[in-house]
């Protein structure tokens, strides 16, 4: 780093000068946070209803997590997977204790956890359902097909964008990985028609996040489980966004009486520290034997120490109670705002995770609400172009929910007022 780079004041404009233009961040730069509040470079305060896209599960600068991180930082940062480390073993133990899992693989992100899950499903098929004429020493199977769903999101690696059900993310990167079919979400008949002995896995988000916090029906998930059993396909739940207590239970599958064969977690698991995890059974895990898959940073001691601290907090009964109480408060508050402003056709909530569907008149304009929210000191998210998404800290206080709702009220009023002004403004005449 040059001396200039170290001391130069950086602004939002600097971002555009030095960053690859794949993001279009908001106009302010946050510099610190505490709980569900954030401050920008000019010390303006914001209520954080976005939670870094369902990542900041325990709020900003959570003291217990800061302590776990700094304690570990003074001990051991990294050894790579040529050696085991205590935080990773402890975290895996805890995840196995709390879920269906018997084995855990750590990654650094949701996409990598899914990449591992999809590779494992294909490898498992090679091990258990090999081609009859596979030459000695080769691993081949006809059981390679993966069923996924329209509008799903599974990450941005080439495999995961191909499996994801949003063509805009996989276009222009061809040739893509073959053997993947996308079916309508919640359409069990479509799956029943498509699934066969050639299917190695079905991957589904129990609640689709990026497409607007849309839940799978319990009958759909149960039906997928039965179909996977009948056709010896693995059922993968992508709980990267729905997990880590976002909906209340540690993972959403726990509330729907369907157990997957593989589950992926990330986002809220690290509370802001990059970590992902793939959970599975002992039998399936065997297909990832020594050398078959890996990651330099996966299971890094810092990330695992942080996730362990996060896990302790998000599984505490007091947190579960807060999720329930704040969900009710936010739901009621949003409904009251909507009764007043009439902007949404639907306000869906799965725990502290909201999808507010804009009226047709406002379709395509969700991002404008995010911009308006900045002005009023509120951080919110979109999901697509028609849905406003909220995913605040699971520890958010009643006071912060109330303050956020007050800001939201001003945002909605300002959107309507701006629209009205634009509609009545005299037409600009050009000569």
Residues that bind ligand PLP (CB under 6 A): 109-111, 114, 153-155, 205, 209-210, 238, 240-241, 266-267
To the nearest whole angstrom, how small is the minimum distance from the Cβ of residue 139 to ligand PLP?
Answer: 27
To the nearest whole angstrom, how small is the minimum distance from the Cβ of residue 125 to ligand PLP?
Answer: 22
Which of 109, 295 has the CB closer to ligand PLP? 109
To the nearest whole angstrom, how small is the minimum distance from the Cβ of residue 286 to ligand PLP?
Answer: 25
Residue 316, classed as helix, strand or coil, is coil
- Torsion 272-278-280-283 (CA) sign: negative
Where does 46-155 have alpha helices with state H?
A: 51-54, 63-73, 86-98, 110-128
Torsion of CA 390, 105, 195, 136, to 10 degrees: 160
Torsion of CA 302, 307, 308, 311, to 10 degrees: 170
Max Cα distance, the chain (Å) = 80
Residue nearest ligand PLP, Cβ-based: 110
Q: Closest Cα partner for 388 from 417, 362, 406?
A: 362
**Geometric angle at alpha carbon 247, from 55 and 378, rounded to 5°:** 50
Spatial distance between the Cα atoms of 117 and 98, rounded to a whole number of angstroms: 20
Which of 37, 389 has the CB closer to ligand PLP? 389
- Torsion 26-28-30-31 (CA) sign: positive
Spatial distance between the Cα atoms of 76 and 301, rounded to a whole number of angstroms: 7
To the nearest whole angstrom, how small is the minimum distance from the Cβ of residue 385 to ligand PLP?
Answer: 17
**Geometric angle at alpha carbon 91, from 90 and 93, rounded to 5°:** 65
Which of 60, 267 has the CB closer to ligand PLP? 267
Which of 166, 406 has the CB closer to ligand PLP? 166
Which of 99, 114 has the CB closer to ligand PLP? 114
DSSP-assigned beta bridge partners for residue 45: 39
Which of 111, 307 has the CB closer to ligand PLP? 111
CA contacts within 13 A on the Cβ side of 48: 26
To the nearest whole angstrom, how small is the minimum distance from the Cβ of residue 204 to ligand PLP?
Answer: 10
Q: Which two tokens stand for residue 187?
A: 């359409």
Which of 269, 373 has the CB closer to ligand PLP? 269
Which of 238, 374 has the CB closer to ligand PLP? 238
To the nearest whole angstrom, how small is the minimum distance from the Cβ of residue 73 to ligand PLP?
Answer: 22
To the nearest whole angstrom, how small is the minimum distance from the Cβ of residue 424 to ligand PLP?
Answer: 41
To the nearest whole angstrom, how small is the minimum distance from the Cβ of residue 112 to ligand PLP?
Answer: 7
């Amino acid at each position: 780093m040059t001396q200039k780079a170290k001391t130069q004041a950086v602004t939002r404009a600097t971002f555009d000068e030095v960053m690859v233009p794949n993001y279009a961040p908001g106009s302010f730069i946050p510099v610190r946070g505490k709980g569900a509040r954030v401050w920008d470079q000019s010390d303006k305060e914001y209520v954080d209803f976005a939670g870094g896209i369902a990542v900041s599960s325990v709020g900003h600068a959570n003291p217990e997590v800061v302590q776990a991180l700094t304690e570990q930082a003074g001990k051991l940062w990294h050894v790579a997977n040529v050696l085991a480390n205590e935080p990773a073993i402890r975290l895996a133990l805890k995840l196995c204790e709390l879920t269906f899992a018997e084995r855990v693989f750590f990654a650094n992100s949701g996409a990598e956890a899914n990449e591992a899950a999809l590779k494992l499903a294909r490898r498992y098929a090679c091990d258990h359902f090999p081609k009859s004429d596979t030459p000695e020493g080769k691993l081949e199977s006809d059981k390679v097909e993966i069923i996924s769903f329209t509008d799903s999101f599974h990450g941005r690696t080439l495999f995961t964008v191909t499996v994801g059900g949003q063509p805009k993310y996989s276009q222009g990167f061809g040739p893509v990985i073959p053997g993947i079919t996308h079916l309508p979400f919640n359409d069990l008949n479509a799956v029943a028609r498509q699934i066969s002995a050639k299917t190695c896995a079905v991957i589904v988000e129990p609640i689709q996040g990026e497409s607007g916090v849309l839940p799978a029906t319990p009958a759909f998930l149960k039906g997928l489980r039965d179909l996977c059993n009948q056709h010896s396909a693995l059922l993968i739940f992508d709980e990267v966004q729905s997990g880590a207590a976002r909906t209340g239970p540690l993972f959403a599958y726990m509330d729907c009486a369907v157990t997957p064969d593989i589950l992926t977690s990330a986002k809220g698991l690290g509370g802001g520290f990059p970590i992902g995890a793939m959970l599975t059974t002992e039998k399936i895990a065997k297909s990832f034997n020594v050398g078959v898959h890996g990651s330099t940073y996966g299971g890094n001691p810092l990330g695992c120490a942080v996730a362990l601290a996060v896990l302790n907090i998000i599984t505490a009964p007091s947190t579960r109670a807060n999720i329930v109480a704040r969900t009710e408060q936010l739901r009621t508050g949003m409904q009251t705002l909507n009764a007043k402003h009439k902007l949404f056709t639907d306000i869906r909530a799965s725990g502290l995770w909201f999808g507010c569907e804009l009226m047709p008149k406002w379709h395509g304009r969700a991002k404008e609400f995010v911009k308006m929210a900045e002005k009023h000191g509120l951080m919110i998210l979109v999901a697509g172009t028609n849905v406003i998404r909220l995913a605040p800290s699971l520890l958010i206080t009643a006071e912060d929910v109330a303050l956020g709702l007050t800001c939201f009220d001003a945002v909605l009023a300002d959107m309507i007022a701006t629209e009205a002004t634009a509609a009545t403004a005299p037409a600009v005449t050009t000569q």
